[in-house]
Amino acid sequence: MVIQPKVRGFICTTAHPIGCETHVREWIDYVKKHSLSTQGPKKVFIIGASTGFGLASRIVAGFGYGAQTIGVFFEKPASDKRTASAGWYNTAAYEKAAHAEGLYAKSINGDAFSDEIKNQVMDLVKKDWKGEIDLVIYSIASPRRIHPKSQAVYSSVLKPIGQSFKNKTVDVLTGQVSMIDISEANEDEIAHTVAVMGGEDWEMWLDRLIDEKLLAPKAKTVAFTYIGPELTHAIYRNGTIGKAKEHLELSAAHIKKKLQKTVGGDALISVNKALVTQASAAIPVVPLYISLLYKVMKHKNLHEGCVEQMWRLFSDRLYGCNMHLDEKGRIRIDDWEMRDDVQQEVEKLWHEVQTDNIKKIADLDGYLDDFYHLFGFHFPHVDYQKEVNPEVKIESIRE
Residues forming the active site: 236
Element (H, E) at 202: helix 200-211
Q: How far apart are the first and last CA of the chain?
A: 22
Is there a contact between 220 and 265 (Cβ–Cβ < 8 Å)? yes
User: What is the DSSP annotation of 247-277?
Assistant: HHHHHHHHHHHHHHHHTS-EEEEEEPPP---
Pairing of strands 144-146, 266-271: unpaired
Element (H, E) at 170: strand 165-171
Give the contacts of 311 (CB within 8 A, at least 6 positions apart). 30, 31, 34, 36, 60, 64
Element (H, E) at 7: strand 7-8
CA 207 to chain centre: 22
Please give the single-letter amino acid code of residue 360.
K
